[in-house]
Amino acid sequence: MLLAASAARAELTTYTSQSAYLAAVGTTGVDTFDDLDIEPYDTPFPRTAGDISYVATTGPGNTRAYGASDDDIDWYLSSSRRTDSITFDTFGTPIAGAGGYFWGSDIAGYTVFAPYITVTATDSTGATLTYTITDPVPTSFLGFVSDARIVSLSVATGDQLGADGYGIWPTVNNLHLSVAAVPEPGTWAMLLGGLGMLCWTARRRQNQGSSSPR
């Protein structure tokens, strides 16, 4: 009963501060994408963020991903078509938190102004939350934390054009995957209250049993 009540209250929370996100989660692995280059990568694309394995997929128009960079040193992950999204899922370890830096780049892989970018997280209860980052830049962090388990994270720029009239490609860097969320004080209170109720019920039944005539 306690587990069922906890699942019913599961929800997704967003964090726009990396420090606040890290304070809300447990062990976190980060994929920097610095092993990429400006070349196509067929997806589904197996990757790791620290010790956590996952799969990156682009589509639905083209299933190839590309490396992108502004300086050929710090590399990012981008899609092959600007209208395609990038999705991260098939996590090798159950995760409660996922996030990273999300913004737009041009066809050559260079950072470009984007009016907005959307990031969507879905958890194991079926809850889905989409957050829109306005005027995103390479330091625009967004993280999701679920009381349950996150099963996918996707980013898209839609069919929008930049100020120069050219397309904008979804771009990701420093993908964060976190194994377990740290329970909020309210969650601890709910758990302790539920355990207290179970103990009280068990004791009451025991007392009733001992006082029954034989």
CATH classification of the domain holding 77: 2.60.120
Q: Is the pLDDT of residue 86 over 70?
A: yes
What is d(CA 193, CA 202) in angstroms, rounded to the nearest whole number? 14
Q: In the prediction, which pLDDT does 76 show?
A: 97
Q: Is the pLDDT of residue 171 over 60?
A: yes
pTM: 0.80
The answer to whether residue 206 is domain-embedded is: no
Q: pLDDT category, 206, cuts 50, 70, 90?
A: low
The answer to whether residue 203 is domain-embedded is: no
The answer to whether residue 134 is domain-embedded is: yes
What is d(CA 9, CA 195) in angstroms, rounded to the nearest whole number? 17
The answer to whether residue 151 is domain-embedded is: yes
| Pair of tokens at residue 83 | 């209208």
- Per-chain mean pLDDT for the chain: 85
Q: Is the pLDDT of residue 197 over 90?
A: no
Whether residue 60 is preceded by a cis peptide bond, meaning omega within 30 degrees of 0, is yes
Q: For residues 127 and 11, is the Cβ–Cβ distance under 8 A?
A: yes
The answer to whether residue 193 is domain-embedded is: no
Residue 91, CB-side half-sphere exposure with 13 Å CA sphere: 26
pLDDT single digits (tens) 91-108: 999 999 999 999 999 999
Q: For residues 101 and 140, is the Cβ–Cβ distance under 8 A?
A: yes
Of all residues in the chain, the percent with pLDDT exceeding 70 is 79
Distances (CA, A) of 136 to 25, 86, 122: 24, 16, 22
Q: pLDDT category, 5, cuts 50, 70, 90?
A: very low
The answer to whether residue 199 is domain-embedded is: no
The answer to whether residue 76 is domain-embedded is: yes
Q: Is the pLDDT of residue 9 over 50?
A: no
> Which regions of the chain does DSSP assign to beta strands (E)?
12-15, 28-31, 40-42, 45-49, 52-59, 64-69, 75-79, 85-89, 95-105, 116-123, 128-134, 141-156, 169-178
Q: Is the pLDDT of residue 127 over 80?
A: yes
Q: pLDDT category, 148, cuts 50, 70, 90?
A: very high
66: containing domain: 12-183
The answer to whether residue 213 is domain-embedded is: no
Please count the structural domains in the chain. 1
- What mean pLDDT do residues 73-89 have? 96
- Core vs surface per residue 117-140: b (16+ CB within 10 A) or e: bbbbbbbebeeeeebebeebebeb
Helix residue ranges per DSSP H, the chain: 2-8, 18-24, 185-211
